[in-house]
């Protein structure tokens, strides 16, 4: 008995990309492909290699298992997704001065969060 497996890879990529508010250009840059190639993948007119699929899953901070599980569709307010995205973006900074500036910004945000708003006290 053979099973008919029809997976809409392009639709999955497009849904995940749009769910994050990313342009094709942003995802293509993260994956290392052209926007034209990514567009072909999303329209299911091109079959990406395993290597490209792996990079697509990594761009979404997902394992291949998560990527192919259509039930897993993290939204932009999913805390684990946000944590992974922050870490991924922070890892791109290599200059020590940039890292110090980012730390100052984080500490400033934390201090603002711990200060009660006057309206909350009323």
pLDDT in tens, the chain (122 residues): 344 445 788 989 998 999 888 999 999 999 999 999 999 999 999 989 999 999 999 999 888 888 888 655 555 555 666 677 777 777 777 788 888 888 888 777 777 766 555 444 44
pTM of the model: 0.56
| Interatomic CA distance for residues 70 and 66, integer angstroms | 8
DSSP letter at 115? S
Q: How crowded is residue 1: how many other Cβ atoms within 10 Å of its Cβ?
A: 2
pLDDT at 75: 52
DSSP of 8-66: -HHHHHHHHHHHTT--HHHHHHHHTS-HHHHHHHHTTSS---HHHHHHHHHHTT--HHH
CA-only gyration radius of the chain, Å: 19
DSSP run (H or E) holding 99: helix 96-114
DSSP letter at 116? P
């Amino acid at each position: 008995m053979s099973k008919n497996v029809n997976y809409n890879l392009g639709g999955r990529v497009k849904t995940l990309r749009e769910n994050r508010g990313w342009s094709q250009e942003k995802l293509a840059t993260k994956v290392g492909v052209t926007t034209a190639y990514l567009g072909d993948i999303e329209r299911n007119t091109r079959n990406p290699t395993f290597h490209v699929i792996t990079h697509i899953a990594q761009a979404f901070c997902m394992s291949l298992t998560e990527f192919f599980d259509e039930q897993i569709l993290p939204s932009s307010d999913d805390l684990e997704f946000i944590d992974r995205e922050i870490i991924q973006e922070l890892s791109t900074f290599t200059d020590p001065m940039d890292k110090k500036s980012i730390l100052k910004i984080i500490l400033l945000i934390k201090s603002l969060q711990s200060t009660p708003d006057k309206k909350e006290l009323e």
